[in-house]
Structure 1
Amino acid sequence: MVPTCDPAAEAVFRPVQAGNALEVTVERLMSAIRLGVVPAGARFPAERDLAARLGVSRITLREAIRLLQRQGYVESRRGRSGGTFVAELPPRPTPEEARRELSETGTALEDLLAFRRGLETGAVVRLAETGLTGAQGDLLDRRAGVASEAGAADYRRCDTVFHITLAQLTGSTRMAAALTDVRMRINQLMDVVPLSEAGLAASDGEHRRIVRAVRERDPEAARRALGEHLDGAERRLRELLG
């Protein structure tokens, strides 16, 4: 079950407020899968609870689930321990498949990377300017700690939670929502890049530097630490997909 306190879950399962309700619901469920909010083999929240959290009818939710079933992303199980479960995910995409996905969706890699960098830089600079409460600083420390203890299979989800938490602490629900959406697309591309122990260790150190700069209310150091953190991922994506 997905904890309600998970910031990624809060951002993904926020109420649907605009657009085609069915299309947006499908996108939210896909975001939950791609961000690791509901990992492979795990169960989505109960239908009644999930529909309430998304602010859609159960009929709309059921249709969204049926669409994802037909695409092989979820499966429904009956019985006392039944529900909607994330199916085993397909093999890691190849660079060619990732490039084709970008082309088919009309998305330019540089546009996506620039948008993410702008959002995340704005978040950490804003936090460094306004400062954190003791509880907020402790929360960021915990998020960074959870990521540092995660293995390769769960690291991307924990990293995503850390970054979404930064956006949420600004107090801007729009920023958190936008970052959740762009992280879903970035994570889909990052699946092409294999994780290494050295890479995970470097990322953990960068998380700590970001938190320290924000805690010390140093906007320039926060911007620099965040930039260094994003540089590596951007470089790998350009090498493979550019």
Structure 2
Amino acid sequence: MIHLGDDTDPAGGIRSELLLRPVHGGNAFEETVQRLLQTIRLGLIAPGERLPAERELAAMLAVSRDTLRDALASLGEAGYLVSRRGRYGGTFVTDELPTTGPALDADGEPVPPRQFSTAELDDALILREVLEVGAARQAASRPLSTADREALWASLGDCAAATDDDYRRLDSRLHLTIGELAGSNSLVPLLAEVRMRVNELLDSIPSLGPNIAHSNRQHEQIVMAILTGNPEAAALAMTEHLVGTALLLRGFLE
């Protein structure tokens, strides 16, 4: 296992603005809530971190200040955000994100977990492989700045050291960081969309300790291939990593 230094960016390098892009259509409030939730749940703005200033955030999302305030207030009521006053105040992601318990029906009885069709599973896994293998290959093909390397290294370290509660978020952040290093701003939102779908699938199966340890070793191989500029090794390591996840999902869900 490689040693991970402590002098890296704790935010993991991925830029939250890649998902906080202008909303479209006539459902500005709903889409604003969706974009903010996606950014929080995928860990682009981590628990305890501050959101951009209200004026800046409204401009990023291309919505009115009133729409943004309504969205922020709604997410505050739902337990995702908290407002703090004072010189260092602002809107922050809560230190502990809400946990989603089992859904209940009208009689208060638990609703059975959603069943995923083979077609849904195939679609998510194929799309993920196309996007993430290509992202790893492209990231390894590009000259990376010192800041890029430190961000990737930090994200790897955070994922390797993650607790069970934080692992999914930090795993998502590592994969999105690799996507960002591919050099296409349009790629990261696509990766985020498919990651949300994959996380929903993963939430339906048990978390297995040996699989987490194996995934961390594979993460290390992917990152080292990117840092040493070996595109084919990066693509192969990412393919093997995704195949492992796909095998578990198919085993539990098909």
TM over 0.5: yes
1:159 aligns with 2:171: yes
1:9 aligns with 2:16: yes
Deviations 1:68-106 (A, max 9, x none): 57xx7447778848967666222268995342xx67xxx
- SS for the counterpart of 1:97 is coil
The one-letter amino acid paired with 1:159 is D
CA apart distance, 1:121:
0.8
Query: Could you tell which deviates more after superposition, 36-45 or 199-208?
Result: 36-45
The TM-score normalised by the length of structure 2 is: 0.74
Cα distance change, pair 84–204 in 1 and its aligned pair in 2 (3 A): closer
Cα distance change, pair 73–193 in 1 and its aligned pair in 2 (3 A): farther
Cα distance change, pair 88–133 in 1 and its aligned pair in 2 (3 A): closer
Contact 2:39/2:45 (<8 A) preserved: yes
Cα distance change, pair 96–138 in 1 and its aligned pair in 2 (3 A): same
1:224 aligns with 2:236: yes
Deviations 1:107-146 (A, max 9, x none): 8221111111111111111123334345433332221111
Task: Provide the C-alpha distance between the structure 2 equivalents of 1:193 and 1:41, rounded to a whole number of angstroms.
Answer: 28
CA apart distance, 1:192:
2.3
Query: Could you tell which deviates more after superposition, 128-137 or 190-199?
Result: 128-137
Q: Which has the higher helix share?
A: 1
Task: Provide the C-alpha distance between the structure 1 equivalents of 2:215 and 2:195, rounded to a whole number of angstroms.
Answer: 16
Give 1:23's match in structure 2, choosing from 4, 26, 30.
30
The one-letter amino acid paired with 1:112 is A
Contact 2:133/2:235 (<8 A) preserved: yes
Which blocks of at least 5 consecutive residues in structure 1 are unaligned? none
The TM-score normalised by the length of structure 1 is: 0.77
Task: Provide the C-alpha distance between the structure 2 equivalents of 1:125 and 1:78, rounded to a whole number of angstroms.
Answer: 41
1:207 maps to which residue?
219
1:60 aligns with 2:67: yes
Q: Alpha carbon RMSD of aligned pairs, Å?
A: 3.4
Cα distance change, pair 37–140 in 1 and its aligned pair in 2 (3 A): closer
Task: Provide the C-alpha distance between the structure 2 equivalents of 1:83 and 1:130, rounded to a whole number of angstroms.
Answer: 36
Cα distance change, pair 97–39 in 1 and its aligned pair in 2 (3 A): farther
Cα distance change, pair 234–73 in 1 and its aligned pair in 2 (3 A): farther
Give 2:101's match in structure 1, choosing from 91, 98, 102.
91
Which blocks of at least 5 consecutive residues in structure 2 are unaligned? 1-9, 104-109
1:119 maps to which residue?
131
Task: Provide the C-alpha distance between the structure 2 equivalents of 1:225 and 1:142, rounded to a whole number of angstroms.
Answer: 19
Cα distance change, pair 172–238 in 1 and its aligned pair in 2 (3 A): same
Contact 2:83/2:92 (<8 A) preserved: no
